[in-house]
Amino acid sequence: MWRSKREVREYVWDLMVKEKLAAFPFPPYGRIPNFVGAADASRQIRKLDAYRKAGCVFSPPDGVLIPFRRLVLADGKILAYSTPHMESFKMMKPGTRAKVTIKDLIRGGEPLARKVDIAVVGSVAVDKKGNRIGKGSGYGDRELAYLRERNPKILTGTLVHSRQLFEDFSQLAQHHDVQVDFILTEKELIITS
């Protein structure tokens, strides 16, 4: 039984280093970790019928989501995103150059002017019920809450390595935590219960 979110975070960060799952930037401590297999996990979204129908898909600026942001644009969808610290919400239209690093997101795009259909955020850990643990700053939950206020029917998901997936840590969930509807791993798409 986990005693705190911090304990889960430390366990995952240590595990990703020990098992050599973490990818640049190093070290993964204190951040949403990038991981080996992030591009494979990103492609799992194509199994989701709602994604195939979506016109606008959200992804925050975490490094692990770079392959996901490229995929969204390559699939002809509008990429919605937030700049660091939620300073603004922007969008890029399909056909936009495929540079989607944090610096590119800050410099590029235009103000978000449409409803977002699907949002995919990074996590340090997530359980099979959709309870996610971020890096501790609260931005992921606030981004999802902001988008859900504008579209109550938005589907939300997270992208993690399968080693960041746990059975249940719902006892750690707090009132402000936003659950996700699906999980993308390098192995599969999981619909949460």
Report percent pLDDT > 90 for the chain. Answer: 75
Domains of the chain plus CATH, in order, are 5-191 (3.40.50.10420)
Report the length, in residues, of the chain: 193
* pLDDT tens, position by position, 140-183: 888 888 899 999 999 999 999 999 999 999 999 988 888 999 99
* pLDDT tens, position by position, 99-149: 788 788 888 889 999 999 999 999 999 999 999 999 987 778 888 888 999
pLDDT at 96: 64
Residue 13 · residue 34 · CB < 8 Å: no
Please list the residues that pair with 126 across neighbouring strands: 132, 165
What's the token pair of residue 177?
A: 């935590």
The residue type found at 10 is E
Evaluate if residue 94 carries a pLDDT over 90. no
Over its C-alpha atoms, the chain yields an Rg (Å, rounded) of 15
Better pLDDT: 101 or 79: 79
* CA–CA dist 175, 141 (Å, integer): 11
Cβ neighbourhood burial of 171 (10 Å; 0-12, 13-18, 19+): exposed
pLDDT at 188: 97
